[in-house]
Structure 1
Amino acid sequence: MAALAPPVAEVRSAVRRSLTGLPAGATVLVACSGGADSLALAAATAFVAPRLGLRPGLVSVDHGLQPGSAGRAAEVVKWAADAGLDPAQAVGVTVAGRPGGPEAAAREARYRALVECAREHRAVALLTGHTRDDQAETVLLALARGAGPRGLAGMPQRRELSGVPLLRPLLDVGREQTRAACAALGLTPWDDPHNTDPAYARARVRHDLLPELVRVLGRGVVTNLARTARLVAEDTAALDDLAAAALAAARVADGLAVAALTDLPPAVRTRVLHAWARELGASAAALSYRHVLALDALVTAWHGQGPVHLPGGLCVSRSAGRLTLAG
């Protein structure tokens, strides 16, 4: 019997680690565009899931942004069905008219469709093919945008997406390995032209910035950036736990007690204020660092200033040693 190609073994091992422990007989869905990363993931899931007592399925989202996109999605679904992935379906979405730029709009449409499919098939997990290289790109983009620790933490291995567990098994696997796995399995991936379009920031990072960093600093820079995301994520989780406890301790009937916030470390206090602003109804997307700093000034630099205006028409003021939502 021929030896298993190392890249195939690496991808399968990553999928096995991610799926181990899920309830036997349950369905897991792979989001697959037909690109090398998601195709390698789908092939590995088709092999690994049944051996863990799971039912593997696949969803290919057609964004309708390129000629022939519906045909490509149909080809992916046909391959999936032949490979033993069941259910296997293509889902069309409309990107135009959604908020944000084209990347954000496509992402929002894609994930909404994926969640709906996962619910339809009662899937216990939705798998995406993000790799170590994607994680490194995410960290670089977060740095460029001045993101805080939450942005530098990158993409988590697991998160809840509207109640559906989203798993990223390949965050410790490089893009070179997924391409090599496809080649070893005789699979021909599709290369999305958007991934090389300089109009998109991630494409510029992928094809210009990251290769230059590798040239100057060595191939290890990709692994190190991804490791940084993991370490920052661990620290962020610990700080979030401290902030949750501090928020509970600071609550009073109509707001937060300033005295309970004053001596907190800034990293904890700003998290408390951010979480509280979210509770009041401020949108996470619109709530900025500037808003949180203004709330923090009500605690640490109080000199009688007026209320802080938050997204959603909310106003927070300080009175009688408390932060309260203005009526």
Structure 2
Amino acid sequence: MAAADPGPKEAFATALARAFPGAAPEALGLAVSGGSDSMALMALAADWASARGTRLEAVTVDHGLRPEAADEARMVANAARALGLPHRVLVWQWDRKGNLQDAARRARFSLLAGWAVREGLAAVLLGHTRNDQAETLLMRLARGSGVDGLAAMAEERVADGVRFLRPLLDVERYALRQELNARGQAWADDPTNDDPAFDRVRTRRALAALGLDDARLAETAARMADARAALEEMTRHVAASSLALDRGDLTLPQEAFATQPAEIRHRLLAHLLRWRAHSPYRPRYRPLRALAEGLVRGRGGTLHGCFVSVRRGTIRIAREYAAVAALESPPDALWDGFWQLERTEGAARADTVRALGQRALGPLPDTGHARPPRESLMASPALWHGDRLVAAPLAGLGEGWTCQPAFTVDDCLATLLSH
């Protein structure tokens, strides 16, 4: 650790002062796996909280993937008890779908967020360190990531409406282990941390073999985070000046899109696709770039569950019918995570909501009201009673039912910035 680096206690206190510039919060959560980083986090948090009257709650997420996990959770519980902290275990079981590591990460945040809401916690603290920053940067560099991938892990993020804080990002792991040794506190070493089958283990060994400095790599990641913030702000400015929501479809002038630098076009398109598809993932870069280049030339396509078209100088981003064809929900639920349907007095009874589908391609009544394009109508919500079509509000079919987007353009703009 460089001489100018603050010690773990000072770094922790400084980070918490940034997160809570006023009074200390009433209650905080601690995500403690049993490794050295999170065990040090718990010890430092206990000292900090006792001096400020903040209530702490500790939790361990057991992913059910290693037999040692239960013993590690008991070790955490004992250490928490010695510090006077309550502790509980949240258990997750993998459904064997998708990528295991990604599924486990998302499940961990979801479980932690639900727990934080139930316990009334102001935020949940995570034990990521400067070493994690450096390893993440090098891993993403090896994958050919751009600015976003190389940007530093944020000191704060919001997931499922809950604040997650990383107050140890300026601290080296060995300094935390020194802190634990001084306290006589043991920790658990996950055997997968030495398994070269994992990318992070190979990256950690490469860092050591090449003599790369964690602090310098973390500094590079922080500079990339600044670049990302500037690019996001520019992207938001473009969207704020040109984006509209038309009967559930996002629209923007083709010229406003085409005249932007390629990086801004890619960012804007990726965000709009994610938002309209209600997806946690960003589209893959190569097909995203191809679609963006096509839109500049007046050619649309399908990507990420969306149908994108260019007509009369306007880009329109709608849901792709194939992405919602099998989707079914009751009328009082938010359909496709986007549409709210309401029944007025005297309306025909419906028991389910499905996409209108091929019915959108047939004759439609002349209602005098503008409709979205047929491709959009195919993916729009329709009310059904068994196999009988009751109403399709956007198509002007049936009466007594209305549908409105549950979100606005301002909601879309608000989620554009990652920090």
TM-score, normalised via structure 2 length:
0.69
Residues 68 and 271 (structure 1), Cα distance of their counterparts in 2 relative to 1, 3 Å cut:
closer
In the TM superposition, 1:293-312 aligns within 5 A as: 293-300=289-296, 302=297, 305=299, 307-312=300-305
Report the Cα offset of residue 126 of structure 1. Answer: 0.6
Question: 1:323 matched to which residue of 2?
Answer: 315
> SS of the counterpart of 2:171?
coil
Report the Cα offset of residue 236 of structure 1. Answer: 0.8
- Say whether residues 1:70 and 2:67 are aligned partners: no
Contact 2:274 2:281 (C-alpha < 8 Å) held by counterparts: no
In the TM superposition, 1:176-187 aligns within 5 A as: 176-187=174-185
Amino acid aligned to 2:65: L
In the TM superposition, 1:43-192 aligns within 5 A as: 43-85=43-85, 87-100=86-99, 102-192=100-190
Structure 2 CA distance for aligned equivalents of residues 250 and 123 of structure 1: 39
Question: 1:3 matched to which residue of 2?
Answer: none
Structure 2 CA distance for aligned equivalents of residues 237 and 13 of structure 1: 27
Question: 1:211 matched to which residue of 2?
Answer: 208
Amino acid aligned to 2:88: Q
Structure 2 CA distance for aligned equivalents of residues 61 and 41 of structure 1: 16
> SS of the counterpart of 2:7?
helix
Report the Cα offset of residue 270 of structure 1. Answer: 2.0
Choose from 241, 254, 257 the match for 2:253. 257
Structure 1 CA distance for aligned equivalents of residues 111 and 280 of structure 2: 22
Question: 1:266 matched to which residue of 2?
Answer: 262
Residues 34 and 252 (structure 1), Cα distance of their counterparts in 2 relative to 1, 3 Å cut:
closer
Structure 2 CA distance for aligned equivalents of residues 138 and 250 of structure 1: 35
Report the Cα offset of residue 157 of structure 1. Answer: 0.5
Contact 1:282 1:311 (C-alpha < 8 Å) held by counterparts: no
**More divergent stretch after superposition (247-256 vs 122-131):** 247-256
Structure 2 CA distance for aligned equivalents of residues 62 and 278 of structure 1: 30
Structure 2 CA distance for aligned equivalents of residues 37 and 253 of structure 1: 45
Question: 2:348 matched to which residue of 1?
Answer: none
Unaligned runs of 5+ in 1: 1-5
Report the Cα offset of residue 299 of structure 1. Answer: 4.1
CA distances 1:102-152 after superposition (whole Å, capped 9, x unpaired): 322322232222112211211111111111011111011111112221111
Query: Which one has the bigger helix percentage?
Result: 1
Report the Cα offset of residue 71 of structure 1. Answer: 2.5
CA distances 1:12-41 after superposition (whole Å, capped 9, x unpaired): 222212222265451111111111111111
> SS of the counterpart of 1:287?
coil
Question: 1:224 matched to which residue of 2?
Answer: 216
Contact 2:77 2:88 (C-alpha < 8 Å) held by counterparts: yes
Amino acid aligned to 2:107: A
* Over 6 Å off, 4+ runs: none
Structure 2 CA distance for aligned equivalents of residues 95 and 170 of structure 1: 29
CA distances 1:253-272 after superposition (whole Å, capped 9, x unpaired): 65110111232222222222
Structure 2 CA distance for aligned equivalents of residues 281 and 120 of structure 1: 29
> SS of the counterpart of 1:198?
coil
Structure 1 CA distance for aligned equivalents of residues 264 and 175 of structure 2: 39
Report the Cα offset of residue 323 of structure 1. Answer: 0.9
Structure 2 CA distance for aligned equivalents of residues 143 and 204 of structure 1: 13
Question: 1:15 matched to which residue of 2?
Answer: 12
Unaligned runs of 5+ in 2: 318-374, 377-419
> SS of the counterpart of 2:123?
strand
Contact 2:30 2:124 (C-alpha < 8 Å) held by counterparts: yes
Larger radius of gyration: 2
Structure 1 CA distance for aligned equivalents of residues 177 and 55 of structure 2: 25
Structure 2 CA distance for aligned equivalents of residues 18 and 110 of structure 1: 23
CA distances 1:20-74 after superposition (whole Å, capped 9, x unpaired): 2265451111111111111111100000022233112211122222224213202
Structure 1 CA distance for aligned equivalents of residues 26 and 139 of structure 2: 36
> SS of the counterpart of 1:160?
strand
Question: 1:247 matched to which residue of 2?
Answer: 239
Residues 119 and 322 (structure 1), Cα distance of their counterparts in 2 relative to 1, 3 Å cut:
same
Question: 1:289 matched to which residue of 2?
Answer: 285
Contact 2:255 2:313 (C-alpha < 8 Å) held by counterparts: yes
Residues 260 and 58 (structure 1), Cα distance of their counterparts in 2 relative to 1, 3 Å cut:
same
TM-score, normalised via structure 1 length:
0.88
- Say whether residues 1:236 and 2:228 are aligned partners: yes
Residues 251 and 69 (structure 1), Cα distance of their counterparts in 2 relative to 1, 3 Å cut:
closer
Amino acid aligned to 1:66: R
Contact 1:298 1:318 (C-alpha < 8 Å) held by counterparts: no
Structure 1 CA distance for aligned equivalents of residues 25 and 275 of structure 2: 38
Structure 2 CA distance for aligned equivalents of residues 253 and 171 of structure 1: 39
Q: How many residue pairs end up in the alignment?
A: 308
Residues 25 and 108 (structure 1), Cα distance of their counterparts in 2 relative to 1, 3 Å cut:
closer
Percent identity at matched positions? 37
Residues 311 and 25 (structure 1), Cα distance of their counterparts in 2 relative to 1, 3 Å cut:
closer
Structure 2 CA distance for aligned equivalents of residues 241 and 64 of structure 1: 41
Structure 2 CA distance for aligned equivalents of residues 112 and 205 of structure 1: 27
